[in-house]
Amino acid sequence: MPPGEFELIERYFRGPAEALRRQRGDVALGIGDDAALLQVPPGMQLVAALDTLVEGRHFPAGTPPESLGHRALAVNLSDLAAMGAEPAWFLLSLTMPEARVDFLEDLSRGLLNLAQEHRVALVGGDTTSGPLSVSVQALGLVQPGTALQRNAARPGDLLFVSGTPGDAAAGLALEMGTPPGREVAAAQQQWLRRRFLFPTPRLALGQALRGLASACIDVSDGLAADAGKLAQASGCGARIDVERLPISAALQARLGIAAVRAALTGGDDYELCFTVAPSRVDEVPARLANVKCPVTCIGVLEEAAGVRALDRGMPIGFELRGYDHFIGAG
């Protein structure tokens, strides 16, 4: 890219990042050198996640750049949420065909608004020309021994999910103009679209679950697939009672009877799926009293491997989405 575009990046990223950096007080050196220098508080463990969004794979061509900026950070904050971590800093690697003022303005607004909301500081990265993709690397902190993991659930533990899964898949279908779907009110369409375009990383929920949940994962590849990964990592299986799935009114209106399938397999929800031992399930309401995010018990972990979905006791078939993420971060 021509050197003149350097100033665009300075204006849209470096200036706003500087304000957040000053707020935090733990960034010794931010954007502008070969690497960032960060002060990890004594006794805290570092939590690191790296996820990339690729045009045509994680978002359709024509996705609003504000959404792209938001989602690139949100999917990484969601990984930190699934660990029960507090987000601290992030780095950005942006590849785009050309640096356009309106594109950068919108993308940086989406990214930095979410960063501001969670007080996570942009401390470095790079920008280059090429096919559109955005990598964010998020760093968070957690007290040693308290991080939520995938692998410590036991058969008998109850399975929960936050929010209303399936909305994002229906929102993406609306974005892409894909049938099928019923005509629904414009407000509901808009709400479903936003569930895809602006997912909410469940950071407060993840932090509140530390010491209570036996295992946790974020839902990126579909609830059944990710519940299955949690169960597999814990050496057991999972049963989902589909009549208990929390279905949003908008999803119900849009998909009718197919809403259940969207909730099971839809993907891109960035809700948390977690387990709680039966002896501690009574603690859930009090522990989550201040977390503005509903959670629903949707099933139980079982000895037998695999994920089963039952509708009032009758097994139903479903197909898992393919894996997007191969070497660990989900």
Q: Which residues fall within 8 angstroms of residue 221, CB to CB, at 6 or more apart?
A: 229, 267, 320, 321, 322, 323, 324, 325, 330
Q: Which stretch binds a second copy (CB under 8 A): 110-118, 158-166, 212-220, 256-264?
A: 212-220
Least Å distance, CB 77 to a second copy, is: 10
Q: How far is the CB of 160 from a second copy (least distance, A)?
A: 16
3-state SS assignment for residue 154: coil
CB of 281 to a second copy, least distance (A): 23
Rank residues 137 and 188 by Cβ distance to a second copy and give the closer one.
137
Contact string 264-293 vs a second copy (x = CB under 8 A): ------------------------------
SS3 15: helix
Cα distance between residue 191 and residue 185, in whole Å: 10
Q: Which of 292, 285, 300 is nearest to 212 (CA)?
A: 285
What is the dihedral sign for C-alpha 22, 23, 28, 33? negative
Q: How far is CA 55 from CA 104, 137, 155, 317, in A?
A: 16, 18, 39, 31
Q: Enumerate residues 89-108 that contact a second copy by CB under 8 A.
A: 89, 91-95, 99
61-90 footprint of a second copy as x/- string (CB under 8 A): -----------------xxx-xx-x---x-
Q: How far is the CB of 182 from a second copy (least distance, A)?
A: 32
Q: With contact defined as beta carbons under 8 Å apart, do 221 and 267 qualify?
A: yes
Residue placing its CB nearer to a second copy in the complex, 11 or 194: 11
Q: Taking CB under 8 A as the rule, does residue 199 contact a second copy?
A: no
* Binding characters for a second copy, 139-158, by CB under 8 A (x = yes): xx-x-x--x-xxx-------
Q: Which stretch binds a second copy (CB under 8 A): 1-9, 109-117, 161-169, 175-183?
A: 1-9
- Residue 205: partners with Cβ closer than 8 Å, 6 or more residues away: 81, 162, 272, 288, 291, 293, 295
Strand partners, 158: 276, 300
List the interface residues with a second copy, window 31-60 (CB under 8 A).
31-40, 42-52, 54-58
Q: Which of 62, 98, 102, 130 binds a second copy (CB under 8 A)?
A: 130
- Kindly determine how many residues on this chain lie close enough to bind a second copy according to the rule CB under 8 A: 85
With tokens 């891109």, the residue in question is 268
Beta carbon of residue 80, minimum distance to a second copy (angstroms, whole number): 6
Q: Among 63, 135, 252, 265, which residue interacts with a second copy (rule: CB under 8 A)?
A: 135
237-241 and 295-302: which strand pairing? antiparallel
